[in-house]
Chains A and B, each alone.
Chain A
Amino acid sequence: MTQAMVQVDGLIRRYAGRAVIENLSFAVQPGEILGLVGPDGAGKTTTLRILAGVLPADSGGARVAAQDVLHDPEAVKSVISYMPQHFGLYEDLTVDENIRFYAELFEVAAAAREQRARELLAACGMTPFRRRLAGQLSGGMKRKLGLVCALIHSPQVLLLDEPTTGVDPVSRRELWGILYSLVFGGVTVLISTAYFDEAERCHRLLLLHRGRQLFWGTPAELKGMLPGAVLSIASTDPERLRAALAGADGLLSAMAMGDALHVVVNEPARRIPELRTRLEAAHLAFDGITTVAATVEDVFAYMVSREPDQRGRRP
């Protein structure tokens, strides 16, 4: 077993008497992409900031590249790169000038710098824009430039806080293409996201909700935790189908989509004919029942539904 590149044990951080992250324990292997997945307020940013050595923890352990982050935060800074949600680009500097600034900051040797910049810009499709002011780039291009700057010193561990939020899908795919080429080269990536479909792109997931760790493992392992199977019933009126199927045997949940009803059932082989009979008896038109792959969001919603109800703090 190789030594983990990131090792976190019982990590706790409190803020104003409340645990912002509660007892997190996980590890990331070299060359792996770990996705920190959860809604706003889940603790994604806090976790990344602690690992980047910019925020102290209250208790627990965190090691990055064999360095103890909590006791010696400066030691990790040469091997990691941390890209916060609002990465500090200078809008009145050009693409090239921003890269040069970060190269100086990270003390990248001048000889290595140009070669590295050229490769990274080419991978991002940004070579034609080297002389453009950063302020005149689109949102997706700004994120890509941020990534180039964060990578200029060839870090071993990359910590990315929601790099794809609001980014157009084409730029988002390019960003992921870059991450995959980095991990093939041995770089370890921790990336937070609020997009559940994006979680499928990670090797392992850490699902967080209100500071608590719901799950740590591969997307395939996660999906194995959903009891039953997801069926899609194609229909132009899914809401009527939902009403008609309420209370059917073995039906665990039902969700109306735009042009289909998605249901979770306990025994698909037995339930599909039963559902079909029930819909036909109600004279409701539908266009086939198919088994669809459960999504990360399906499982996350199932897990949250089993948590104690907390509408908010009492006044």
Chain B
Amino acid sequence: MSEAFSIVVDELVKRFRRFTAVNRISFSVARGEIFGLLGPNGSGKSTTIRMLCGLLTPTAGRVSVVGFDVARDPEEVRQHIGYMSQKFSLYNDLRVVENLEFFAGLYGVKGAQLTERIAWALEMAGLNGGEELITGDLAGGWKQRLALGCAVMHRPRVLLLDEPTAGVDPLSRRLFWELIHQMSADGVTVLVTTHYMDEAEYCNRLALIEAGRLVATGSPSELKRGAIRGDLLLVECAPLGRGLEIIKRQPGVLDAAVFGAALHVVVGAADRARAELPAALASAGVATSRIEPIAPSLEDAFVALAGKRHDLGATQ
């Protein structure tokens, strides 16, 4: 059978009593791809990843991983996936090497292969010489890379990461993503959940998920290009508050908001707005020091796509 796609999710649904946590989600992840599920807390990301591991049974829909149906062949699927959860399920009172041995044992890694994998994991995590450290004493970034090492002791073809970098420092986060990109280059398929907009930029392709529904999929640049109707301008002016009031009233302005010491303004046509806005501001006594087009962020894309359905308020 064709294995162009390592993960296929088809019309997946999970209900908890009356609450629909995952609502008819479908996507496919190609071999070696890094695919991100991006959404706020409570949007259904972790529920989806747990159904992919076989830890939760779907209410409806299908999941297959490297060609095996998760519902029919859960044991087969488990041999091919590595799973790292939000809380880095390490034993804090064990030594570093004991955690590696424990997870290797769970996955049936033995003998020469065990020695080789432990050496590899220590090197990868930057823990050479740190085998005897108590895991609970490690700083966040090292703990995180140790958890990654434990999750891939058995060389899985698919790696599932649930909020792997929440709260760690940015340098550790970058080291972590370098490791993920190297694994992906070696053919490992990666599915990762995150609620950090900027972190999603590390993924080859993304699905934006909100309130259990898939809002959009695409590469980070596709999503940023396609999401905003119009052009985004950065406007620096003083006084800022008065400037905002004036700009909101100008024809051709679709949206305007304060962003730090400047305004972000969405306009129908950037060239026209750049010509007209400074004069309109000046006539109201507001001086413009800078006006230029900027690239929309993923957050801009998310807000534009999700915002349409956002007047619901409640969890259901």
Tell me if B314 and A311 are in contact (CB < 8 A).
no
Q: Is A239 an interface residue (CB 8 A)?
A: yes
Interface size class for chain B? 35 or more
| A312, B96: Cα distance in complex, Å | 12
Tell me if B43 and A201 are in contact (CB < 8 A).
no
| A196, B184: Cα distance in complex, Å | 25
**Smallest Cβ distance from B245 to chain A, in angstroms?**
10
Tell me if B201 and A258 are in contact (CB < 8 A).
yes
Chain B residues within an 8 Å CB radius of A128: 313
Chain A residues within an 8 Å CB radius of B261: 203, 218
Given contacts A259-B204, A312-B138, contact A173 B40 (CB under 8 A): no
Chain B residues within an 8 Å CB radius of A219: 260
Chain A residues within an 8 Å CB radius of B303: 169-170, 173
Q: Is A39 an interface residue (CB 8 A)?
A: yes
Tell me if A257 and B202 are in contact (CB < 8 A).
yes
Tell me if B168 and A39 are in contact (CB < 8 A).
yes
Q: Is A244 an interface residue (CB 8 A)?
A: no
**Smallest Cβ distance from A78 to chain B, in angstroms?**
27
| A137, B40: Cα distance in complex, Å | 15
| A135, B173: Cα distance in complex, Å | 34
Chain A residues within an 8 Å CB radius of B200: 258
Query: Hey, what's the 0/1 contact readout for A36-80 against B, CB within 8 Å counting as 1?
Result: 001111100000000000000000000000000000000000000
**Smallest Cβ distance from A176 to chain B, in angstroms?**
8
| A196, B299: Cα distance in complex, Å | 13
Q: Is A167 an interface residue (CB 8 A)?
A: yes
Q: Is A209 an interface residue (CB 8 A)?
A: yes
Given contacts A138-B314, A139-B41, A240-B185, contact A197 B259 (CB under 8 A): no
Q: Which of B140, B219, B221 has the most CB of A within 10 A?
A: B221
Q: Which residue of B130, B185, B206 contacts A239 across the interface (Cβ within 8 Å)? A: B185
Q: Is A271 an interface residue (CB 8 A)?
A: no
Given contacts A138-B314, A184-B241, A255-B178, contact A168 B40 (CB under 8 A): yes
Tell me if B257 and A297 are in contact (CB < 8 A).
no
| A168, B221: Cα distance in complex, Å | 21
| A125, B203: Cα distance in complex, Å | 33
Interface size class for chain A? 35 or more
Tell me if A297 and B170 are in contact (CB < 8 A).
yes
The prevalent SS among residues of B at the interface is mixed
Chain A residues within an 8 Å CB radius of B302: 169
Given contacts A170-B303, A201-B260, contact A304 B171 (CB under 8 A): yes
Within 8 A of B (CB), among A112-147: 125-126, 128-129, 132, 136-141
Tell me if A200 and B241 are in contact (CB < 8 A).
no
Tell me if A297 and B198 are in contact (CB < 8 A).
yes
Q: Is B6 an interface residue (CB 8 A)?
A: no
Tell me if A256 and B178 are in contact (CB < 8 A).
yes
Q: Is B139 an interface residue (CB 8 A)?
A: yes
Q: Is A281 an interface residue (CB 8 A)?
A: no
Tell me if A138 and B134 are in contact (CB < 8 A).
no
Tell me if A295 and B204 are in contact (CB < 8 A).
no
Within 8 A of B (CB), among A290-311: 295, 297, 300-301, 304-305, 310-311
Known A184-B240, A311-B139; further 17 A-B contacts with Cβ < 8 A: A138-B42, A138-B314, A140-B40, A166-B41, A166-B42, A167-B40, A169-B303, A180-B257, A195-B196, A197-B297, A234-B221, A255-B177, A256-B178, A256-B181, A257-B220, A258-B219, A315-B132
Closest 8 CB pairs of A and B: A166-B41, A40-B167, A168-B40, A39-B169, A312-B138, A180-B258, A304-B171, A184-B241
Interface residues of B (CB under 8 A from A): 34, 36, 39-43, 95, 126-127, 130, 132-134, 137-140, 142, 166-174, 177-178, 181-182, 184-185, 195-198, 200-206, 210, 219-221, 240-241, 257-261, 297, 299, 302-303, 306-307, 310-311, 313-315
